[in-house]
Amino acid sequence: MSGDSDPAEVLSREGQIKEIGGGKKASATIYDIAKIAGVNASTVSRALNKPGRVSAKTQKLVEDAVEELNFRANPFARALPTGRTNNLGLIVADITNPSFFDLIRGAGKGSALQDFTLVLAESAESGVAELTAARRMLGTVDGLILASPRMDDKDIRSLARHKHVVVINREVDGVPCVIPDASKGIGQAVRSLAANGHRKLAFVAGPPRSWMSDRRWEGIQAACEWSRLAATRLESTTPTLEGGRKVARAVRESGATAVMTYNDLLAIGLMQELQVAGIEVPDALSIVGFDDIFGADFTTPSLTTIRSPLGECGSLATRLMLDLLDGSQGETCTLHAETELVLRGSSGRLLSA
Amino acid sequence: MSGDSDPAEVLSREGQIKEIGGGKKASATIYDIAKIAGVNASTVSRALNKPGRVSAKTQKLVEDAVEELNFRANPFARALPTGRTNNLGLIVADITNPSFFDLIRGAGKGSALQDFTLVLAESAESGVAELTAARRMLGTVDGLILASPRMDDKDIRSLARHKHVVVINREVDGVPCVIPDASKGIGQAVRSLAANGHRKLAFVAGPPRSWMSDRRWEGIQAACEWSRLAATRLESTTPTLEGGRKVARAVRESGATAVMTYNDLLAIGLMQELQVAGIEVPDALSIVGFDDIFGADFTTPSLTTIRSPLGECGSLATRLMLDLLDGSQGETCTLHAETELVLRGSSGRLLSA
DNA sequence: TTGTAGGCGTTATCAG
DNA sequence: CTGATAACGCCTACAA
C-alpha cells in the first residue's frame, strides 16, 4: 500500500504523457481505456456503471484496462449529464464548537461509505453567513445537511425547494429532521437529583431564539413536575464559559440546590465561578450540563451531563439523505435519537444546608 | 436577507419551470440569461469571467439578467473545460482531535474567501485510509492540504505529482510545508520553569514515529542546555488522557520537578493521575502541555501550554495553496508559524522539596 | 466588441 | 450486446 501504482508511469505507455496546468499530470479518460480494451467508449461507461449489461468478456477487458491505467471517472464530467454530483454538503453553526466534532465525523464516515464526498462549511453562528454558504453549496451538492441552523424556517424551506435538505437539532415543518430527544436523559437526570435529596432546581437557558433550549426547558419542567421538584428558569447572556460565570450570582440567589444548564460550556463556567466563591460542587450544589462535549471530563469534579448522540445524528442524517436521494424515503420523515445521562462527579447528594 | 429572491419564482417567468430529479427545481444557465440579455451565451461567459472585455452596456444587461435569475455558474460545467474545480481538499488525521478544529476553520475561511469550496476527509489516524481518501479526492480538487499526515513521504510526493499538495505539521522534502516552529514557545517555557527554581525536567514523548514529537524533544533539549536544566525523555503509550495517566508513575520516579508533554491530552491525564495520588500541581510538580487545545482551561489548575497557531497554519496553508495554483509561488516554499507560551495555573514556583 | 463552433469527459438514447 | 451520436453547461479560440 503505497505510491507504486502511479498512473503517470502507466500513462507514458501510450508514449504521450498529458500535461495539465501547474505541471501536474492529467489522468486517463474512458476513451483511453476504450482504446486499450478495443471497444467503444460508451461500452466502457456501461461496463462501469451498469454491471451485467455487457458481456463477461468485455467486462473483463474493460476492468483490466481500468486497472492498468488506474482509471477514475471524472466526477465533474459525470455530474453534467446526470445532474448527480455525489457530493453532500454539511453546514455547521460553529466548527470550533466541540458538540459538532462527532457530528462531522459521523457525517464524514457515512458519506465516504457510499462514495459520497463531504463538503463542509461553517456559518460562524450567523444566519446570513449560513444562508450565503448554503446558496454557494447549492450548485455543488446533491443534498444539504444543516446542523443547528441559525437561519429562518422559511429560508430553510426555500433551500429545500432546490435540493434535498436534512436538518439536525431543530424541527422545521415539511423538512426531514434528525433531533435528539432530550426527554429520556432529562428524566434520568431529574430522577437522580430527586433521589439525592434535591427539591429545588434551576435551569440556565441558552440563546433566546434557540429551538433546542426551549425543548430542554419544557422537558425539565415536565420531569420536575413528575418528580415533585420546583423548577425555575434563569437566562444566560451567551452559551459560553463566560456566560456560565456570569450567571453564577443568579444561580446562588435562586436558592436552587441543583442546576441544569443549556449546555456544558455554561455548566463548566458556572462551576468554575462557584468554586472560586468557595461553594463545593457537588456537596453544596449539583450541576448537570448538556451534550457531553469534549473536555467535560477534564474538570474537577468531572461534569455530569446529558449526552446528545451527535455522532449518531450525523450518520443518521447522511443515511436519511442518501435514502432521500435515491427516493427510498419520503420527504417528511423525522428521526429521533435518544439522549442519556452521563453520571460523573458534579452531581450528587446534597450535604450542606 | 431571506428567501425572497427564489430563482424558481423567476424562472417561471419564462413560462416553463424545469424539473430535476427528486422534484427539485433546476437552475438557470448562461443560455437563459443570454436570452434575457439579448446576447450570445459566449458573451455572457465573457462578461462574467473577463471583466472589461465586453461593452459597458452589455455588461450591465448581463448583470441585470444574472441578478434577475439569481444565476450561479454550474461549477461542474465550468470545471470541465478549464480543469479548475475551485475545490480545495483537506485531510486531517482525526476530526475529533481538537487540535484540528481551528485548523479546519482557518482553512475553511481562507478558501471561502477566494470562493473556493472546502472538501473534508479524515483518515482516522490510519496511513492507508489517508491515502485512499487522498486518491479519492485527487479527481475532485485543485489542491490537497494534508494536516499531520500519517502516510509515507513517498506517498505524499506521489500525490504531489498529480495535484498541488501542502503539508501542515510535518516537513516533506520537495513539498511545500507549513509548520509551527516550536522553539520560541519552548524557550519561553523552559526559561519560565528555570526562573521558578526547577532544575530537572522530563519530556513525555508522543508516538514513536511522530515527526513533531522529535522536533519538540530536540527543542527542549536545546533550551534546557541553554538554561542549564537536566532533561530526560520518557515514553508514553498513546498521546491521550489515558496515556497521560499511565506515564504518571514514570514521571514520579524520574525525579523531575517539571514535566513537558508531547500534547495537552497527555498533560491533563498526567495531572489528573498525580492529583489523585495527592501530588500538588504546581506546588510539587509543574506541568506544561503542547497545543493549547479546547478545554485546556477547564482543568484545575488550568493548563500551562505552548500554543501552536493551528488556525493560522490552516489559513497560511490555504493561502499558500492558492498562490501555488495561480503560479505566483514556487513549489518548494516552507512557511513557519510561531508558537508561544500560554502561562496558566499548572506551572509555577517549586514549593515542596 | 460580439457571435460561431468545437471541445471538456460522461451518460443516455438510439439504432444496429 | 454494442456502437454512433447527441446532450449536459461552460469556456475559448477564431472569425466576423
Burial of B258 (0-12, 13-18, 19+ CB in 10 A): buried
| Chain segment B151-161, per-residue pLDDT in tens | 999 999 999 99
Q: Tell me the sheet residues that pair with B260.
A: B203, B288
Helix (H, G, I), strand (E, B) or coil at B258: strand
Reported as a pLDDT band with limits 50, 70 and 90, residue B13 is very low
Q: What pLDDT is stored for residue B14 in this prediction? A: 39
What is the SS3 string spanning B289-319?
EEECCCCCCCCCCCCEEEECCHHHHHHHHHH
Distance A71 CA to D5 C1' (A): 24
Question: What pLDDT does residue A6 have?
Answer: 45
3-state secondary structure B108-157: HHHHHHCCCEEEEEECCCCHHHHHHHHHHHHCCCCEEEEECCCCCHHHHH
- For chain B, percent of residues with pLDDT exceeding 90: 76
> Which of B1, B12, B67, B76 to mutate: most A Cβ within 10 Å?
B76
Q: DSSP secondary structure string, A126-171?
A: -HHHHHHHHHHHHTT-SEEEEES--S-HHHHHHHHTTSEEEEESS-
Statement: residue A93 has pLDDT above 90: no
Q: What is the pLDDT of residues A224-265, one digit of tens each?
A: 999 999 999 999 999 999 999 999 999 999 999 999 999 999
**Confidence grade of residue A70 (pLDDT, cut at 50, 70, 90):** very high
**Spacing of A58 CA from C15 C1' in Å:** 20
> Mean pLDDT across the stretch B123-143?
90
pLDDT per position as a tens digit, A30-56: 999 999 999 999 999 999 999 889 999
Per-residue pLDDT band for B99 (boundaries 50, 70, 90) equals confident
In chain B, the domains with their CATH numbers are 7-82 (1.10.260.40), 87-180 (3.40.50.2300), 181-309 (3.40.50.2300)
Helix (H) or strand (E) holding A19: strand A19-20
Measured in angstroms, the CA of A136 and the nearest CA of chain B are apart by: 8
Instruction: For residues A125 and A127, give the distance between their C-alpha atoms in angstroms, rounded to a whole number.
Output: 7
pLDDT at A12 over 60: no
Residue ranges of alpha helices (H) inside chain B are 7-11, 30-37, 41-49, 56-69, 75-82, 99-113, 127-138, 153-160, 183-195, 211-227, 241-246, 248-254, 264-276, 310-325
Separation in Å: C2 C1' and B69 CA = 23
Mapping DSSP to helix (H, G, I), strand (E, B) and coil, where does residue B88 land?
strand
Query: Strand pairing of B164-168 and A340-342?
Result: unpaired
Residue A126 banded pLDDT, cuts 50, 70, 90: confident
Q: Which secondary structure element, helix H or strand E, spans residue A214, and what is its range? A: helix A211-227
- Sequence-distant (≥ 6) Cβ neighbours of residue A131 within 8 angstroms: A151, A155, B1, B2
Cα–Cα distance, A222 to B186 (Å, whole number) = 53
pLDDT of the residue at B122: 86
Q: Residues A303, A271: contact at Cβ < 8 Å? A: yes
- Percentage of chain A with pLDDT > 90? 77
Check if residue A344 sits with its Cβ under 7 angstroms from strand D: no
How distant is the Cα of B228 from the closest Cα of chain A, in angstroms?
A: 33
The answer to whether A96 touches A125, Cβ cutoff 8 Å, is: no
Q: Is B105 in Cβ contact with A95 (below 8 Å)?
A: yes
Please report the pLDDT score of residue A101 as a whole number.
Answer: 83
By C-alpha distance, the chain B residue nearest A270 is B298
Task: Give the residue with greater pLDDT, A128 vs A328.
Answer: A128
Single pTM value for the model: 0.86
Task: Please report how many Cα atoms fall inside a 13 Å half-sphere around the Cα of residue B324, on the Cβ side.
Answer: 26
**Rounded to the nearest 10 degrees, what angle do helices A41-49 and A56-69 cross at?**
90
Q: Is the pLDDT of residue A321 over 70?
A: yes
Q: What are phi and psi of A193, to 5 degrees?
A: -65, -45
Position B163 pLDDT exceeds 90: yes
Q: At residue B162, what is the residue type?
A: H
Supply the mean pLDDT for chain A.
Answer: 90
What is the distance between the alpha carbons of residues A14 and A203, in angstroms, rounded to a whole number?
71
